[in-house]
A and B are shown apart, each in its own frame.
Chain A
Amino acid sequence: LAKTTQPISMDSYEGQEVNITCSHNNIATNDYITWYQQFPSQGPRFIIQGYKTKVTNEVASLFIPADRKSSTLSLPRVSLSDTAVYYCLVGQRPGGSYIPTFGRGTSLIVHP
Chain B
Amino acid sequence: GAGVSQSPRYKVTKRGQDVALRCDPISGHVSLYWYRQALGQGPEFLTYFNYEAQQDKSGLPNDRFSAERPEGSISTLTIQRTEQRDSAMYRCASSAAWRGGSTGELFFGEGSRLTVL
| CB-CB nearest in chain B for A95 | B56
Residue in A closest to B55 when the chains form the complex, CB atoms: A97
User: What 1/0 flags go to B46-78 for Cβ under 8 Å of A?
Assistant: 001000000110110000000000000000000
The answer to whether A97 and B91 touch (CB under 8 A), given A43-B108, A91-B101, is no
Query: For this complex, into which size category does the number of interface residues on chain B fall?
Result: 20 to 34
Chief secondary structure at chain A's binding surface: loop
Question: In the complex, A98 Cα to B100 Cα: how many Å?
Answer: 10
User: With a CB–CB cut-off of 8 A, which chain A residues contact B1?
Assistant: none
Tally of A interface residues using CB under 8 Å: 30
Chain A CB within 8 A of B111 CB = yes
Measured between beta carbons, the chain B residues less than 8 angstroms from A105 are: 42
- Chain B interface residues (CB < 8 Å from chain A): 4, 33, 35, 40-45, 48, 55-56, 58-59, 91, 93, 98, 100-103, 105-111
